Amino acid sequence: MDGVELITDKITVTPSVKSLDGGSIGYQHFGSNFSDANIMAQWLIDLATSISTNGHGKQYRQARYTVQERWEMMINGFTEGQRNMQAVSLSGYLLRIEVDPNIAYQIIQKINSESDMLLPDKEINALFRSVYNKERQRAKRGIA
């Protein structure tokens, strides 16, 4: 944003102005001493820290469904309109907590059988296989 500079440890991370000089872009720092910088407003801190890392640095995953919602799936089956997403999410969760893939698959099939509108076996197979392959790749890269 114009007029906002992010400064950390006396280094300008995001300068406040871009200026054009002969067709190239140069950055201009309005610069005072670091000690003259104002404390960042909380809304700006929240904005800066909510940016996705896109695979760089630490990665934090936020679960799509709560533990309670997962237990409700176990009892009631997958919800119409969310069946695929729930099956994928729960499959990934079970595999990440190292449930044996055969047992995880049986759990997904059992939950599907409790659903008001069942996903076809062919679709459950494809969803689970896709998640299984993705989780294997994630495990090889050491990503939690």
pLDDT in tens, the chain (144 residues): 555 555 555 555 554 445 555 555 544 555 555 555 556 666 656 655 554 445 544 455 567 888 888 888 888 999 988 999 999 999 998 998 889 999 999 999 999 999 999 999 999 999 999 999 999 888 888 765
What is the rounded distance in angstroms from the CA atom of residue 97 to the CA atom of residue 79?
A: 23
The pTM assigned to this predicted structure is 0.55
In order of 55, 106, 134, the CA distances from 99 in angstroms are 26, 11, 15
Cα dihedral sign, 34-36-37-38: positive
**Burial of 104: CB neighbours in 10 Å, binned 0-12, 13-18, 19+:** buried
Q: b/e for 30-41, b at 16 or more Cβ within 10 A?
A: eeeeeeeeeeee
